[in-house]
């Protein structure tokens, strides 16, 4: 990709319309003359640094988060280098706008705010042409990462149909900004299998299929046809499944994880970042992971995925499979998961407790489970706002010196508790990570950021690891290695900081942290035999060479 005279055939207005080639006001005077740009731009010639300052000021001029999101999307569609430089320089400030929580509102309003196409929409009626449609992708070269959704379970908002495309677009923006995957080598995809959201179906502006969702054999056919098209057209591409409903997420992952280079971010990415935060919390509390008693509220695919990842780490640290599973107590809307229940999936049944354990209990709700189990860690993935009540939290804190409490449900309105409340109810002893961003806590007269267990700590680094190391599969040990690297980075970042520190690394340094996390994951891939042999030094060099930097080429 270059802008030097004689090295690009795109000129004039067409050059300015290409977001990968456009430099806007940064085109030099010789470039403007050589590329037919004279008169098409204001006279001033700016540096990228000056453009970033101007773009940031324009961003701040919008008062509503959704309007700021729209501005950033338009900037991305105009000049990718400028967009990514802005995001990388102001990552902590812009992350809640580019992704959660604002992306949820952007998905909900997708048909209202739609401006320009980005990515591919694959509809049921076109299933016989999926490979042909994949060839219509904007940039015809190889693709490192695809993020795909069917829009059924967008954050905590439910079925958003075609509006779910905002999630792959946002995720891939972070693959590039943090992981350094070149933007031309990313591809967002929306599988339009219809929607059961009646409000969308009756909305005259809705841009998706006006049909109820496919189910059963037809849905499975849609997924299989898509996977086959990717295998044929884009072999070796990392395929990330995103925001699929529980009923589909785990079966899809199980069906394809040994066939493709693929993973599910809601199941495995969430799990890895939670393991990273939990590992840091264990270090702070001075209590090893193997001695934790974990109560999990919610038993969907994300919650079970978290337990599976922690269980893998527990086995790696010396416990048997049975001993590791015995560290968990799962509670859903019907109470504790016990063996006599007939509504459990195979994955949930692994964590079901013997019925005899609850003999004499006054019910099996969360409060009663906490009272009897005396957990050291309480993890929420239930979308039940306020479920971690003062009574429950105080009960937990009465039997645990440093209670680990993770209200992880998104968006903020669905969080199981507010961090400020958790700190107050535990006299500041709680070790907290959340799923959505919250204001910092005031501790001893200073602000302490609340760790946000955002998958951004994991998935961009996984993309970088796979691209640099040549992995052919994503294994559980790769994700555990990434989680441990996150914890190590958090510990290093906290060194020398007085008082309490967050359980996860500062977001502002995630681009640098991604390199360390990627090396750890790539090394695990080599050890698992799913990547070519390489030393740690080899992988460090490969990661450094692979990570794309948002810069204009020299004139």
Q: Do residues 493 and 281 touch, judged by C-beta distance below 8 A?
A: no
In this structure, the answer to whether residues 300 and 445 fall within a common structural domain is yes
Using CA atoms, how far residue 537 sits from 522, 532, 546, in Å, is: 11, 14, 14
In this structure, the answer to whether residues 193 and 144 fall within a common structural domain is yes
> What per-residue confidence (pLDDT) applies to 232?
97
Q: Looking at the predicted structure, is the pLDDT value of residue 3 above 80?
A: no
**Does the residue 433 lie in any domain?**
yes
Domain end residue (candidates: 260, 288, 321): 260
Q: How confident is the model at residue 547 (pLDDT cuts 50, 70, 90)?
A: very high
For range 258-287, the mean pLDDT: 95
Give the residue numbers marked as catalytic.
99, 171
Please give the DSSP secondary-structure letter assigned to residue 268: I
In this structure, the answer to whether residues 423 and 274 fall within a common structural domain is yes
**Does the residue 352 lie in any domain?**
yes
CA distance 447 to 445: 7
**Does the residue 368 lie in any domain?**
yes
Domain end residue (candidates: 203, 229, 260): 260
**Does the residue 526 lie in any domain?**
yes
In this structure, the answer to whether residues 430 and 509 fall within a common structural domain is no
pLDDT digits (tens, 9 = 90+) for 448-505: 889 999 899 999 999 999 999 999 999 999 999 999 999 999 988 777 655 677 899 9
For range 112-127, the mean pLDDT: 96
- The structure tokens listed for 373 are 């189990």
> What per-residue confidence (pLDDT) applies to 493?
78
**Does the residue 507 lie in any domain?**
yes
SS3 of residue 137 by DSSP:
coil
For range 426-451, the mean pLDDT: 90
Domain end residue (candidates: 405, 424, 453): 453
CA distance 327 to 323: 7
pLDDT digits (tens, 9 = 90+) for 7-49: 568 999 999 999 999 999 999 999 999 999 999 999 999 999 9
Q: Looking at the predicted structure, is the pLDDT value of residue 201 above 50?
A: yes
User: 91: Cβ–Cβ under 8 A, 6 or more apart, which residues?
Assistant: 177, 178, 507, 508, 510, 511
Q: Do residues 209 and 163 touch, judged by C-beta distance below 8 A?
A: no
% the chain with pLDDT above 70: 97
Q: Looking at the predicted structure, is the pLDDT value of residue 380 above 90?
A: yes
Number of domains present in the structure of the chain: 3
pLDDT digits (tens, 9 = 90+) for 508-546: 889 999 999 999 999 999 999 999 999 999 999 999 999
- What is the span of the domain harbouring residue 532? 457-546
Helices marked H in 374-469 — which ranges?
Answer: 390-399, 419-425, 459-469
For range 221-242, the mean pLDDT: 98
% the chain with pLDDT above 90: 88
């Amino acid at each position: 990709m270059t802008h030097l005279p004689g090295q690009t055939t795109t000129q004039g207005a067409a050059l300015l319309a290409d977001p990968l080639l456009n430099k806007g006001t940064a085109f030099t005077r010789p470039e403007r003359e050589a590329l037919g740009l004279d008169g098409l731009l204001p006279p001033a010639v700016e540096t990228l640094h000056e453009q970033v300052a101007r773009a940031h000021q324009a961003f701040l001029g919008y008062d509503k988060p959704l309007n700021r999101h729209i501005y950033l999307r338009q900037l991305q569609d105009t000049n990718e280098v400028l967009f990514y430089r802005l995001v990388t320089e102001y990552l902590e400030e812009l992350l809640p706008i580019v992704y959660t929580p604002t992306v949820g509102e952007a998905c909900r309003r997708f048909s209202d705010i739609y401006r320009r196409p980005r990515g591919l929409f694959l509809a049921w009626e076109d299933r016989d042409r999926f490979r042909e449609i994949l060839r219509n992708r904007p940039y015809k070269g190889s693709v490192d990462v695809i993020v795909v959704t069917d829009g059924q379970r967008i954050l905590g908002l439910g079925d958003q149909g075609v509006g779910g495309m905002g999630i792959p677009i946002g995720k891939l923006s972070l693959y590039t900004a943090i992981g350094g995957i070149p933007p031309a080598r990313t591809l967002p995809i929306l599988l339009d299998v219809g929607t059961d959201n009646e409000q969308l179906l009756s909305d005259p502006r809705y841009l998706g299929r006006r049909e109820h969702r496919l189910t059963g054999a037809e849905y499975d056919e849609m997924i299989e046809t898509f996977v086959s098209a990717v295998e044929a057209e884009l072999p070796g591409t990392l395929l990330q499944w995103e925001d699929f409903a529980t009923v589909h997420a785990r079966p899809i992952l199980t069906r394809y994880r040994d066939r493709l280079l693929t993973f599910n971010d809601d199941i495995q990415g969430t799990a890895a970042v939670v393991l990273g935060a939990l590992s840091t919390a264990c270090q702070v509390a001075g209590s090893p992971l193997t001695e934790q008693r974990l109560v999990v509220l919610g038993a969907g695919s994300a919650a079970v995925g978290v337990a599976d990842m922690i269980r893998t780490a527990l086995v790696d640290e010396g416990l048997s499979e049975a001993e590791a599973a015995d560290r968990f107590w799962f509670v859903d809307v019907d109470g504790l998961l016990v063996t006599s229940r007939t509504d459990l999936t195979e994955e949930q049944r692994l964590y079901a407790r013997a019925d005899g354990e609850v003999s004499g209990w006054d019910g099996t709700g969360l409060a009663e489970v906490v009272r009897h189990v005396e957990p050291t860690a309480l993890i929420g993935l239930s979308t039940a706002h306020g479920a971690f009540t003062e009574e429950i939290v105080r009960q937990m804190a009465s039997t645990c010196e440093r209670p680990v409490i993770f209200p992880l449900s998104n968006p903020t309105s669905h969080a199981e508790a507010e961090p400020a409340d958790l700190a107050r109810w535990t006299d500041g002893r709680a070790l907290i990570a959340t799923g959505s961003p919250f204001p910092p806590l005031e501790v001893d007269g200073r602000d302490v950021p609340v760790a946000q267990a955002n998958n951004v700590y994991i998935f961009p680094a996984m993309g970088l690891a796979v691209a640099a190391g040549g992995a052919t599969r994503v294994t559980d040990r790769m994700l555990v290695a990434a989680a441990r690297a996150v914890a190590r980075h958090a510990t290093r970042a906290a060194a020398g900081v007085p008082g309490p520190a967050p359980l996860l690394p500062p977001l502002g340094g995630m681009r640098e942290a991604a390199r360390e996390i990627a090396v750890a994951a790539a090394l695990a891939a080599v050890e698992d035999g799913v990547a070519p042999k390489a030393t740690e030094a080899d992988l460090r060099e490969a990661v450094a060479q692979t990570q794309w930097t948002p810069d204009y080429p020299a004139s």
